[in-house]
Structure 1
Amino acid sequence: MNETRAIDRLDTQPRFTDQEAIRLNRMFRGAETEEWLRAVFEGDLVGDIALVSSFGAESAALLHLVSRIDASIPVLFLDTGKHFPETLAYRDELTDRFGLNRVDLYPDLADLEARDNTGLRWSYDPDGCCELRKVKPLEIALARFDASLTGRKAFQSSTRANLPRFEVDTADAQGRLKINPLIDWDAQRIAAYFEEHDLPRHPLIERGFASIGCSPCTRAIKPGEDPRSGRWAGWDKVECGIHKPGEEPFL
Structure 2
Amino acid sequence: MTTFETNSRIELQDRAHGLCARYDGETAEGTLNGVLRQDFPGRVGLVSSFGTEAAVLLHMVAQIDPYTPVIFLDTWKHFPETLAYRDQLVEQLGLCNIQNVTPRPAGLQADDPDGDLHARNPDLCCHVRKTLPMLQALRALDCWITGRKRYQAATRTELSLFEAQDRWIKVNPLLDWTSGDVADYYQTHDLPAHPLKAQGYPSVGCAPCTRAVAPGEDARAGRWADSEKTECGIHFENGKLVRGG
Q: TM-score, normalised by structure 1?
A: 0.90
Q: 1:240 maps to which residue?
A: 232
Measure the CA separation in 1 of the matches of 2:243 and 2:212. Answer: 29
Alignment equivalent of 1:161, drawn from 153, 157, 161: 157
Task: Write the letter of the residue equivalent to 1:232.
Answer: W
Map of 1:50 onto structure 2:
45
Matches within 5 A, 1:123-138: 123-138=119-134
Structure of greater relative contact order (alpha carbons < 8 Å, 6+ residues apart): 1
What are the equivalent positions in structure 2 for 1:29-44 lying under 5 Å apart?
29-44=24-39
CA contact (8 A) 2:156 2:243 kept: no
CA contact (8 A) 1:47 1:147 kept: no
Match of 1:95? 90
Q: Distance in 2 between matches of 1:14 and 1:134?
A: 26
What is the alpha-carbon distance in structure 2 between the residues aligned to residue 96 and residue 203 of structure 1?
16
Q: Measured at CA, do residues 207 and 240 of structure 1 come closer, stay the same or move farther in structure 2, by a change above 3 Å?
A: same
Q: Which has the higher helix share?
A: 2
Aligned counterpart, 2:105: 109
Q: Which runs of 5+ in 2 are unaligned?
A: none
| From 106, 115, 121, the counterpart of 1:119 | 115
Q: Tell me the alpha carbon deviations over residues 8-41 of structure 1, each in whole angstroms, 9 at most, x when there is no partner.
A: xxx9774851111111000011111212221222
The CA deviation at 1:247 is: 2.0
Instruction: Supply the AA of the counterpart residue of 1:239.
Output: E
CA distance in 2, matches of 1:178, 1:97: 27
- Provide runs of 4+ in structure 1 moved above 4 Å: none
What is the one-letter code of the residue matched to 1:162?
E
- Which sections of structure 1, spanning at least 5 residues, go unmatched? 1-10
Tell me, what secondary structure is at the counterpart of 2:52? Answer: coil
In structure 2, how many angstroms separate the alpha carbons of the residues matched to 1:24 and 1:131?
A: 29
**Shift in Å at residue 83 of structure 1?**
0.3
Matches within 5 A, 1:141-220: 141-169=137-165, 172=166, 175-220=167-212
CA spacing shift, 1:109–1:188, aligned 2, 3 Å: same
* Corresponding residue for residue 17 of structure 1: 12
**Structure 2 residue 76 is matched with structure 1 residue 81:** yes
User: Alignment length, in residue pairs?
Assistant: 236
How many Å separate the matches in 1 of 2:213 and 2:87? 25
Counterpart residue identity of residue 211, structure 2? R
Q: Deviations over 1:38-66 (max 9, x none)?
A: 12222134760011000001000110011
Verify the 8 A CA contact 2:155 2:243 in the aligned structure 1. Answer: no
Q: Secondary structure at the match of 1:50?
A: strand
Q: Provide, for residues 193-227 of structure 1, a one-character-per-residue CA deviation record: whole Å limited to 9, x for no partner.
A: 00000000000001000100000000001111111
- TM-score, length-scaled by structure 2: 0.92
SS at the partner of 1:82?
coil
CA shift digits 1:69-118 (9 cap, x unpaired):
11111000011010000000000000111111100001010111111110
Match of 2:222 in 1: 230
SS in 2 for 1:178: strand
SS in 2 for 1:43: helix
User: Percent of aligned positions with the same letter in both sequences?
Assistant: 47
Q: CA RMSD in A?
A: 1.7
